[in-house]
Structure 1
């Protein structure tokens, strides 16, 4: 597996090609831990400095991610999703458009009081109750989003949360409650850091930066439908605003 030291192409670039080829061929799969710097240095007969630069470049390109004390892991190709006025793609639609298999897992479902400020969007009295649904959204079984959904109880009476396991919220609202999907919405993006709970469920390091996407979704009659708060693993996702 030695590199060609007699050509002009730098050794770190040659090594990048080798590792990228292993990722693209499936020899290194998303989530796999690659060999250590020492092992790569021995395998390809190059210095640790060359290996380190290679890994840094591949991390910058989104192929790898380094986690302190754990090693370097292969990242799945980033998912591309549109969050635009009159074109707010659902997670399921996004996965299908990217050739990935969507799935979801319910962590929590409870009926609770509205949080401060939510009544302004829902245009309801504060005494009205809402569902709080917490779930993990994954693509090809790799967790991407830790989501909190808030929806008024009256919009989904006799709600069976098990119907939402590995299912699309938009499709459930349309098929079970006859609320057609609307592309209208308003979104706010911030940068946050992953708490222990979110990091554990997303399989990332505690304190790792995440995108916090807060969306206010309407139904086909332009009436407030639900609020979604998504903690998104930035290294696995791209948004078009």
Structure 2
């Protein structure tokens, strides 16, 4: 088993305190120096943990005031098919896609990830970070979580292309639907650096859970879209009952 880095231990501990309610919504979290003293680590290690929690939306920064636990937001969710495939969407506009896999590792499900993927806290997950770009322009940053018990032979190379193509073409699984949540967020320092933008600039964030035809959740994804290059357009159709016309 891979030993966790110190920043991951701090990140997990703070996340647990947030999910358990020990750190309440809207509450100011301890400062970097307070966390350094509490965990007896370097400031750099604390910043790594804080940046990951910022990226995942557990906390947010308020300039001049500090870092706070995020409030639960009212969501407008769209349920249905098709799932969102960045590779497919870019092919539709004849734009080639390049993918850089930034991280591929094993991790454990916390309470939130377990609830998203129909697992128990502590179950094994694959964790993947990747940056999708086209023409040298970074467009989408993704954090992907998958149950190890569903995928026995995943490797880094698979994520250099469309993962949904792999699921349907190589594994011959049928995808039933995807549940997505879309909201505006401010760029964390980590994602801003990847997008070559300034920290705090607006971005479009989408989280999604995708299900197989047997109802099994098989992937949970968190995506950040470059705000200067993306917008979403939705065409919604309604069915009319002929008898009511």
TM-score between the two structures when normalised by the length of structure 2: 0.59
Separation in structure 1 between the aligned mates of residue 141 and residue 108 of structure 2, nearest angstrom? 21
Gaps of 5+ in 1: 1-82
Q: Which digits, 9 at most, give the CA deviation of each residue in 1:132-189, with x for residues without a partner?
A: 1000011233111111001101221121112322x11111222333323x25111111
Match of 1:221, SS state, is coil
Match of 1:213, SS state, is strand
List 4+ stretches of structure 1 deviating above 6 A: none
1:184 aligns with 2:174: no
Separation in structure 1 between the aligned mates of residue 200 and residue 105 of structure 2, nearest angstrom? 27
Q: CA RMSD in A?
A: 1.8
The corresponding residue for 1:153 is: 148
- Which runs of structure 2 are paired with 1:63-82 in the superposition (5 Å)? none
Match of 1:143, SS state, is strand
- Which runs of structure 2 are paired with 1:159-238 in the superposition (5 Å)? 159-165=154-160, 167-180=161-174, 182=175, 184-238=177-231
CA positional deviation for 1:216: 0.9
Label 1:97 to 1:227 Cα distance change in 2 as closer, same or farther (>3 A).
same
Separation in structure 2 between the aligned mates of residue 135 and residue 87 of structure 1, nearest angstrom? 22
- Native 8 Å contact 2:127 2:146 kept in 1: yes
Which structure has the bigger radius of gyration?
1
Separation in structure 2 between the aligned mates of residue 194 and residue 127 of structure 1, nearest angstrom? 29
- Native 8 Å contact 1:156 1:177 kept in 2: no
Separation in structure 2 between the aligned mates of residue 95 and residue 147 of structure 1, nearest angstrom? 16
Separation in structure 2 between the aligned mates of residue 183 and residue 102 of structure 1, nearest angstrom? 25
Separation in structure 2 between the aligned mates of residue 115 and residue 140 of structure 1, nearest angstrom? 37
TM-score between the two structures when normalised by the length of structure 1: 0.60
Separation in structure 1 between the aligned mates of residue 94 and residue 116 of structure 2, nearest angstrom? 34
Match of 1:127, SS state, is coil
Aligned length: 157
CA positional deviation for 1:121: 2.7
The corresponding residue for 1:37 is: none
The corresponding residue for 1:51 is: none
Gaps of 5+ in 2: 1-77, 235-245
Separation in structure 2 between the aligned mates of residue 226 and residue 121 of structure 1, nearest angstrom? 9
Separation in structure 2 between the aligned mates of residue 123 and residue 183 of structure 1, nearest angstrom? 16
Separation in structure 1 between the aligned mates of residue 145 and residue 105 of structure 2, nearest angstrom? 10
